[in-house]
Amino acid sequence: MQDYYDKGMRVPDDITLLLCDDNWGNLRKLPKLADKPRRGGYGIYYHYDYVGGPRNYKWLNTNPIPRI
């Protein structure tokens, strides 16, 4: 969905935008400081375990707690 959002998809202000990591603990996107606050706010989703393509791992190469 981030690709659609980056290309201009508009999301209602009362919907929470969920930002996620790149499967290695790096956030893919952060709100811009110039953006006005959203009623729905923002959330962050981290992959603690990743099961599915293109990678499949549990407990190996997952995000360490200090990095989060």
pLDDT beyond 90 at 7: yes
- What would the mean pLDDT of 10-19 be, rounded to a whole number? 93
Which H or E run contains 56? Answer: strand 55-57
**d(Cα 33, Cα 16) in Å, to the nearest integer?**
17
Is the sign of the CA dihedral 52, 54, 60, 65 positive or negative?
A: negative
pLDDT reported for residue 43: 92
pLDDT tens-digit readout, 16-63: 999 888 766 788 888 889 988 999 999 988 766 666 666 666 655 556
DSSP string, 2-27: HHHHHTT----TTSPEEEEB-SSS-B
